[in-house]
Amino acid sequence: MLSLWSATADAFRLLLSGDPGLWEIVGISFGVSLKALICATIPAFVCAFALAFGRFPGRRLVIALFNTLLAVPAVVIGLTVYLCLSRSGPFGELRLLFTQGAMIIGQFLMAFPVLVALGHTALQSADVRAWETARTLGASRFKAARTLMYEVRFGLMAAFVVAFGRIIAEVGSALMVGGNILHSTRNITTAIALETSKGDFAQGIALGLVLLSLSLVLNISLIWLQGRGSLRT
């Protein structure tokens, strides 16, 4: 108990003293996860849109598939990416293994099903008449789709936040394909794993606190946005 308190106190000291090593790790985590999410968002929402409003054979099967992918453990995605990028794998020539690029690919694959599944749910709740009205008023398909997405923007934002929460907190794939290399692929979660294995709990707790406060800020801003949205309607 005593060591938990003293480690937490040390953690706050580290955070407040602006320890450059610590903040570099935080920066890497954010950079990688944001890049992965930005790459995934638009294709995933287009996919969700097609699943919500398109009518094609096997649609339900695809929806079930994406819902299943939500449960795939990060290490399995990590292993798949590792085997693909390894020098003996199909994309070995790219020499991406143990770089931030590899981590982005892993997190992209993890965020994609979350965005599709939650985006699909959000879009389903939209009023189809908005789409029909927009179309009869002469809007192009693209414009009508944009109107509809705007209608359910809070649902989509929630999908975005949940996906971000999943990938910034994952450790299995980041450790496997990133390699936990200092100044390059060491992010918050792999650093926590390492510091714990070294017995340096203060650094681990400090990084954990950063993760927690970040997700708190994200969720509060989401709720605040939703509150403002519901006031207007």
Partner 1 sequence: MNCSWLWRICCGFAGVVLLAGGIVSADPLRLAATTSIEDSGLLAKVLLGFTEETGVEIQAIAVGTGKALELGEAGDVDVVLVHAPALERAFVEAGHGVDHRAVMYNDFVIVGPNSDPAGIRGQTNAVEALARLAKERATFVSRGDESGTHLKERELWKTASMLPHGRWYREAGQGMGRILQMAEELDAYTLADRGTWLAMKSRLSNLSIAVEGDSRLFNRYGVIAVNPAKYAGIGYPMAKRFIDWLTSPNAQRLIGDFTVDGEVLFHPTTQDLP
The residues of the shown chain that bind partner 1, judged by CB under 8 A, are 3, 86-87, 97-98, 175, 179-184, 186, 190-191, 194, 197-199
Least CB distance to partner 1 at residue 170 (A): 17
Least CB distance to partner 1 at residue 4 (A): 12
Tokens 């340096």: give the residue. 200
Of the two residues 89 and 165, which places its CB atom closer to partner 1 in the complex? 89
Do the beta carbons of residue 195 and residue 203 sit within 8 Å?
yes
- How many other C-beta atoms can be found within 10 angstroms of the C-beta atom of residue 35? 16
Do the beta carbons of residue 167 and residue 33 sit within 8 Å?
yes
Of the two residues 42 and 94, which places its CB atom closer to partner 1 in the complex? 94
Do the beta carbons of residue 27 and residue 33 sit within 8 Å?
no
Least CB distance to partner 1 at residue 232 (A): 49
Of the two residues 129 and 183, which places its CB atom closer to partner 1 in the complex? 183
Q: Closest Cα partner for 189 from 217, 168, 160, 216?
A: 168
Least CB distance to partner 1 at residue 151 (A): 47
Least CB distance to partner 1 at residue 87 (A): 6
**Sequence-distant (≥ 6) Cβ neighbours of residue 67 within 8 angstroms:** 113, 117
**Sequence-distant (≥ 6) Cβ neighbours of residue 189 within 8 angstroms:** 29, 168, 169, 170, 171, 174, 175, 211
Of the two residues 96 and 122, which places its CB atom closer to partner 1 in the complex? 96
Element spanning 148, H or E: helix 141-151
Gap between the Cα atoms of 169 and 192, Å rounded: 11
Of the two residues 120 and 186, which places its CB atom closer to partner 1 in the complex? 186
Gap between the Cα atoms of 22 and 28, Å rounded: 10
- Dihedral of CA 111/113/115/118: which sign? negative
Of the two residues 145 and 177, which places its CB atom closer to partner 1 in the complex? 177
Residue 184 has which token pair? 């390059």
Of the two residues 75 and 218, which places its CB atom closer to partner 1 in the complex? 75
Least CB distance to partner 1 at residue 42 (A): 32
Least CB distance to partner 1 at residue 81 (A): 13
